[in-house]
Amino acid sequence: MVDDTQVKRALAIAAHPDDIEFMMAGTLLRLKQAGWEIHYFNVCDGSLGTNQLPPEEIRSIRREEAIEACRLAGAVFHESLVPDLAVFYNASLLAQVAGVMRDIAPQVVLTHYPFDYMEDHSNVSRLAVSAAFTRGMPNFKPEPARPVTAQPVALYHALPYGLLDPLRRSVAPDFYIDVASVMELKVAMLACHRSQKEWLDVSQGHDFYLQTLRDLMREAGRQSGTYTYAEGWTRHLHLGLGPVDFDPLAVLRESAD
């Protein structure tokens, strides 16, 4: 388990501003309540998330919205690296993500499901796994240069958006985390992303954006058979990351029993 003398750090790494809020923020907030230092990292800058504004303007707006949501959570903000739809699994971007990973030295990493409905999500998942894997490799050079770290890492994949894989099949996670106690804060974080709410509300109906979040978490709770609102998680294979029994989210599961 994590050494109690060390700062316990959890990183949520997602593709776009608002992805953390939709599928990961409840568990991140629960970790914050349990004494963890939490980190918030969107790899993409949100530059395609509009049908009205030029990329430079929407990029700035979405950055400020993400910072606001991050502050609500009491998390540490990390700058985005690439435009939307420019997340590719390549050496250059992996080196940049690995640099952030080494700066934080997290014991918990929360990221996307490996096979999500869009490639940005899936590629961020792959980059997060490899960045964690390379944390202790002195011959791997992150960008910018950072020293190796030696902490064990438990990496968890969120449920995909819509709770389905790209082939429309339901995804059954390893376990669920009860997020009812932080649900309103999770919704408030998502509401910070006003540019997205306004865009989707106009095209899909009043408060569609926030209601979709509630509906997804309620459905995950129903599928859990236990909780009203839940986030589902699948733990990544431990090899290269930490001991087989290193499972920090077990504490949150036990606290709900």
- Phi, psi for 160 (deg, rounded to 5): -70, 155
Does residue 3 register a pLDDT over 50? Answer: no
Burial (CB count within 10 angstroms: exposed 0-12, middle 13-18, buried 19+), residue 3? exposed
Provide the residue ranges of all domains of the chain, joining segments of one domain with +.
Answer: 9-239
Q: What is the pLDDT of residues 99-154, one digit of tens each?
A: 999 999 999 999 999 999 999 999 999 999 999 999 999 999 999 999 999 999 99
Averaged over 17-44, what is the pLDDT?
98
pLDDT band with cut points at 50, 70 and 90 for residue 51: confident
**Does residue 55 have a cis peptide bond before it, meaning omega lies within 30 degrees of 0?**
no
C-beta of residue 124 within 8 angstroms of C-beta of residue 80: no
53-62, 118-127, 193-202, 243-252: segment of lowest average pLDDT: 193-202
Q: What is the pLDDT of residues 71-97, one digit of tens each?
A: 999 999 999 999 999 999 999 999 999
For the chain, the DSSP string reads ---TTSPPEEEEEESSTTHHHHHTHHHHHHHHHTT-EEEEEESB--TTS-SSS-HHHHHHHHHHHHHHHHHHHT-EEE---B-TT-----HHHHHHHHHHHHHH--SEEEE--SS-SSHHHHHHHHHHHHHHHGGG-TTS--SS---------EEEEEPPGGGB-TTS-B---SEEEE-GGGHHHHHHHHHT-HHHHHHHHHHH-TTHHHHHHHHHHHHHHHHHTS-SSEEEEEEPP-TTTS-TT--TTHHHHHHT-
- Phi, psi for 75 (deg, rounded to 5): -105, 165
Domain 9-239: which topology? Rossmann fold (3.40.50)
- Phi, psi for 174 (deg, rounded to 5): -65, -40
Q: What is the pLDDT of residue 210?
A: 92
Residue type, 120: D
